[in-house]
Structures are given as C-alpha cells and as structure tokens.
Amino acid sequence: MHKQLEYPIAAPTSRRRRVLDVREIRVVDPVAIGDVVELLGAGANAGIITKILPRKNQITRRDVGPKPLEQIIAANVDYIVHVVAAAQPASKWELVDRYLASAELAEIPSLIVLAKSDLLQDDAALAEAENFRRIGYPVILTSAMTGQGIYELRNALRDKLSVFVGMSGVGKSTLLNALQPELALRVKQISAATGKGIHTTTQLEMFDFDFGGRGVDTPGLKYLTLWKLAGAAVAEHFIEMRAYLGQCKFGADCSHDHEPDCAVKRAVGQGRISERRYRSYLHIKG
C-alpha cells in the first residue's frame, strides 16, 4: 500500500503497474501521510488497515493524466510551510499566493519562509515579506548557509505536523536538514538507494523532529491546488480581502473585477491591498 501511495508523485515516468490499479478507484491514495487509522494486527510490524479515522483537513493536488484525479498529499496538517527563495530560483510570489489561498480553503494555517536569505539582493522580497506579515501571516527569514531563522522556525514547528511546499530548488530539503541535522544522513541514504541526486526530493517523506513534531518534505509541487479553487469565492481565501467583502455595491455578486463601486478595488487603489496580490486574485479567479 505504502509503495503505491508514494509512487504517483515519486516517479511519474516509472512503469510499475500497481499504481495503475490505484487509479481505478478515482482517488489516488486512499490513505495519506498524517492519517490516523485503525489496524487489524497481523504479526510483528504487519497489519491490515480497516478504517481511516475522520480527517480534520487534507492537502490535495490534481494528479497528472488525461482524467485528473484528486491526490491527497497529507492529512491532519497543522501547518503548511510555504518556502520561497530570496533568489535562485527567483521568487514566484503568485505561486505562493495560490498555495496560500489553497491553504485557506482547506482551513490549514500557513507559515511563510523566505529561504536563502543570504542571497537577498534587493528590497523587493523583503517588501513582500513585510506585506505578508501586515496582513497576518507569520513570516520567517532563513538561511541554511548562515543559520539565520532556524532556531525561530524550530520553535514555530514544535509539536506540529508541518508540510513543506514550494517550487523545486527553493531549499525545502536543505531547510529540513538544517532544522534537524541528523536528517541529512537519512536523506542521503534514501537518495543513494534510488540513485537520485542527493538534493532532489522525489517522493513525499515524513520525519519525526527530535525537538517535537513532524515534518513532511515534498517534491516541488507545481500543481498543488485544492479542488475547485476558482471563481469569485477565491476572494474569501485572500485574507486581506475578507474585511471588504459584502461592502461592494453588488454585494456577494461582486467579483471585484470590472464592477463599479467595489470595496476591494477601492482598497487596492488606496494601497490597503497590495496590487500584486490583487492581480494574483484575478488570475486565480479566472
């Protein structure tokens, strides 16, 4: 079961057949990382899952393929850690906005990490970080090179189940290694076994933190998106827009796009909502 679950994200080009069987039940991964299950014991370290207990939340993505399926990445998540690099690769803030909105839809708290802070070159990334703080998201600046922010991040994640998301190469695995240096060994061992590069994550993996809590490393997930994240309701998932919803001339019918007398657009004009975030909203709304 576990191998089937890891597979679709792990190696989309692999030809192992069992995963195709999983597709037939329409939801990839009936059991996900973070699930609490009931087991029928079948000897040492073996058992049959008889029941998945109700989830308090779940992170899903669209699986690739002609018929997109819902894939559950993790369940019962306490924190989504949105990792964005100060540079290399260049910060993609619209992607962060998408992930944040998805997290709001799933009602999972978010934490933003501006990684590779040692590579900060201009104030643009800092200004974004400051805006995210202003609207209510915790933001931590980190550098695995200098150790900046690692202690703070450890404190924020203690005793929680945290899922690290973000583009490939932003430094998610490096951050996990910095949080708990002993992980480095395990990451290297697994990479050696699969023949993959040490610094590229190819599957979902959960680690226990010595300081309490657990972390899930993910490969750079381009398509992380909660089911049905589109339409004017997206405004509810931009937390700084919430205060203005209902104050538009057309009330709940306003899509905050072309309508006259729109409270959201007015707030953008007055600089109370960032224009960049507003543009992300328009893109996601579609």
Ligand X SMILES: Nc1nc2c(ncn2[C@@H]2O[C@H](COP(=O)(O)OP(=O)(O)OP(=O)(O)O)[C@@H](O)[C@H]2O)c(=O)[nH]1
255: contact with Mg ion by CB under 5 A:
no
Chosen from ligand X, Mg ion, Zn ion, none, partner binding at 256 (C-beta under 5 to 8 Å by type) = Zn ion
User: For 14, phi and psi rounded to 5 degrees?
Assistant: -65, 155
- Which helix H or strand E contains 282, and what residues bound it? helix 275-285
Between CA 139 and CA 142 the distance in angstroms is 10
What's the closest the beta carbon of residue 28 comes to ligand X, in angstroms? 20
Q: Which stretch binds Zn ion (CB under 5 A): 19-27, 32-40, 48-56, 241-249?
A: 241-249
Between CA 189 and CA 183 the distance in angstroms is 10
How many chain residues touch ligand X (CB under 6 A)?
A: 20
Q: Which residues pair with residue 40 across a beta bridge?
A: 48
Interaction mask 104-143, ligand X, x per CB under 6 A: -----------xx-xx-----------------------x
Between CA 212 and CA 63 the distance in angstroms is 32
Can you tell me which of 103, 129, 161, 264 binds Zn ion, judged by CB under 5 A? 264
143: contact with Mg ion by CB under 5 A:
no
Residues in the chain: 286
Can you tell me which of 248, 267, 268, 273 binds Zn ion, judged by CB under 5 A? 248
Give, as ranges, the residues between 202 and 241 that touch ligand X (CB under 6 A): 219-220
Identify which of residues 183 and 268 has a Cβ nearer to Mg ion in the complex.
Answer: 183
61 within 8 A of 163, measured Cβ to Cβ: no
Give, as ranges, the residues between 157 and 196 that touch ligand X (CB under 6 A): 166, 168-174
177: contact with Mg ion by CB under 5 A:
no
What's the closest the beta carbon of residue 3 comes to ligand X, in angstroms? 20
> Nearest Cα to 58, choosing from 22, 30, 87, 97?
30
241: contact with Zn ion by CB under 5 A:
no
Q: For the sheet with 70-75, list strands across it.
A: 27-28, 70-75, 58-62
40: contact with ligand X by CB under 6 A:
no
Identify which of residues 9 and 226 has a Cβ nearer to ligand X in the complex.
Answer: 9
Between CA 191 and CA 134 the distance in angstroms is 40
Chosen from Mg ion, Zn ion, ligand X, none, partner binding at 59 (C-beta under 5 to 8 Å by type) = none
Between CA 129 and CA 139 the distance in angstroms is 6
Identify which of residues 146 and 168 has a Cβ nearer to Mg ion in the complex.
Answer: 168
Identify which of residues 191 and 247 has a Cβ nearer to ligand X in the complex.
Answer: 191
> Nearest Cα to 19, choosing from 59, 65, 84?
65
8: contact with ligand X by CB under 6 A:
no
Question: 67: which residues sit within 8 A by CB, 6+ positions away?
Answer: none
Residues that bind Zn ion (CB under 5 A): 248, 254, 256, 262, 264
